[in-house]
Structure 1
């Protein structure tokens, strides 16, 4: 039986494996090789690695793990997981089975995109979900906030940090904006367009304009999406984790879950979705895993 199996080889999973390797724990890290940020040219806001391509960050992290003999990496998907005696049983896509005392899910999320023509084409190259990650690179350009509902006003105002040319587009979705809200947005130079969106046009590399159902268009260098409901890994639901309305796991202080011995770190957990935050969550989960194992071993 392993000390811990980590599912997912993104920043959270890799950093958890690093810390647990340094604790001399028997670690199996499984990764299917389908990172959510595969379409992202660079990872910004990462300490000492600002602007590094995500795959390069991953390669560096994997090389770091090679110096720890108790850490094994496998390029394989984990297809099933369940609780069993003294821990968890997992099934891998190659048909093999593993048991482990502790389980860390760093599976990330599947990003749902609005069904607007062009959003999928420019995803990661002009259509973004995080202004802290990509706002600076699109500064002082015409920016569109695609948002509706209660979050729309706040996200539109947030984008004014990076540009004074911001338009809030609700795509005709229900959005309650009081007269005070509209006045506040106008005061900060934010326009509001509530017409249905037809498509996002560009040159194939970068968006250039947003076209509406009434035939009008709007200059657009980048679109920032309101946080959309995301689909968690099937493993999370198989194991009976609690979920929030946004589809993430409401983890505790050290990435604990409502399932004893199960930890969730990275984008699938409750915090903001930053690579550097995901890595920190992986470290916190690793600390908690090692602490639990130690208590069990010396009891």
Structure 2
């Protein structure tokens, strides 16, 4: 049975497009399936990415897709992969339009979904002034009144990091802090305030925060807020195929971007806590090369 494609890539954002380019240049027949819903679609500017610092994520993605489309052996499907299974040594992928395609290898570059609390204003400000990464956004809000929405060990470690970018810093634990007495003392020693009052609303204008409202009627004027939210995998198809997850919920991969299922690879935010364009692109490039290398070894 001959496969329709050498590789099917599910997810056509930065990691997926990077892998598609590597595979296209390796003369592989590739299908990229993408629904056009990247996790950074609200983010106005991408930073800490040389040659494209300050560009909108959509501009970078559109430019990347245009370049990848120059390779005639790379094909795109605008939609969603709805099912995946193995059959006679091939992977069968079904789509939302009832179509199916087969491939020798499979790459998931599907990202993750942040699960946000039901606090008005947070989701609308996510990626704009509610931020996940100081390396991506910290310079733009440096030395400004800033909050961290987190608690316990996570909140403490995040406060240590963000203190590098601003000294006007408040840790919002949204309830009892779960901090140790040593951590509270350390934070106080760096003039980092801790507010345990539950947050009821994030006031903003078009995603740009003006202040945070608390359950006791008080408020805090800030320009930015960092947050550590739980997440889930955007796509459950890797798990349906038997791909293992790490204890933190990421797809488990080795140094070759290979999952625990032979022939299935993963790259990008679905595999690592280090969420940035450059890291996703590098992972996609490596995945493309490793997939091609595996097929070469099988065929030679």
What's the TM-score bracket when you normalise by the shorter of the two chains? over 0.9
* Aligned positions of 1:102-117 closer than 5 A: 102-117=105-120
Q: Is the 8 A contact 1:229 1:245 kept in 2?
A: no
Q: Does 1:135 align with 2:133?
A: no
The answer as to 2:187 corresponding to 1:185 is yes
Partners of 1:168 and 1:87 in 2: CA distance: 50
Which residue of the other structure, out of 274, 277, 285, is the alignment partner of 2:276?
274
1:126 aligns with 2:129: yes
Q: 1:22 maps to which residue? A: 25
Alignment of 1:87-236 (within 5 A): 87-172=90-175, 175-236=177-238
C-alpha displacement of 1:294: 0.3
Shift of 1:271: 4.4
> Once the 2 structures are TM-superposed, how far is the Cα of residue 229 of structure 1 from its aligned partner?
2.8
1:97-155 superposed Cα distances (whole Å, 9 cap, x missing partner): 11100000001111211221211221222111112111111111111100023211000
- Pairwise CA RMSD of aligned residues? 1.3
Distance in 1 separating the partners of 2:10 and 2:99: 15
How far residue 254 of structure 1 moved from its aligned partner, in angstroms, is 1.7
Work out whether residues 157 and 190 of structure 1, in 8 Å CA contact, stay in contact via their aligned partners in 2.
Answer: no
Given that residues 133 and 226 in structure 2 are in contact (C-alpha distance below 8 angstroms), is that contact kept between their aligned partners in structure 1?
Answer: yes
Q: Deviations over 1:236-295 (max 9, x none)?
A: 221122123432112111211111110110010124111110010001111110111001
Aligned residues: 297
Q: How does 1:1-80 map to 2 (within 5 A)?
A: 1=3, 2-80=5-83
The answer for unaligned runs of 5 or more in structure 2 is none
2:247 and 2:216 mapped to 1: Cα distance? Answer: 33
Native 8 Å contact 2:112 2:231 kept in 1: no
Asked whether the equivalents of residues 116 and 229 of structure 2 are also in contact (C-alpha less than 8 Å), the reply is no
Give the distance between the partners of 2:109 and 2:62, measured in 1 at CA. 17
Aligned 8 A contact 1:140 1:165 in 2: yes
SS at match of 2:91: strand
SS at match of 1:249: coil
Name the TM-score, length of structure 2 as normaliser: 0.95
Contact kept? 2:33, 2:80, Cα under 8 Å:
yes
Give the conservation status (yes or no) of the 8 Å contact 1:106–1:265: yes
2:88, 2:137 → 1: CA distance?
45
CA contact (8 A) 1:228 1:246 kept: no
Counterpart Cα distance in 2 of 1:73 and 1:283: 18
Alpha-carbon separation, structure 1, partners of 2:53 and 2:287? 24
Residues 155-164 or 225-234, more deviating: 225-234
Q: Give CA-to-partner distance per residue, 1:39-94, whole Å, 9 cap, x none.
A: 11111111210111111111111111122111111212111111222221100111
Partner Cα distance (1:202, 1:92) in 2 = 38
Instruction: Note the alpha carbon deviations across 1:167-205, whole angstroms, 9 max, x for none.
Output: 1111015x4322221111112221101111111113344
User: Which of 53-62 and 238-247 deviates more?
Assistant: 238-247
| Cα contact 2:109–2:270 (8 A) shared by 1 | yes
The offset of 1:227, in angstroms, is 4.2
SS of 1:125's equivalent? coil
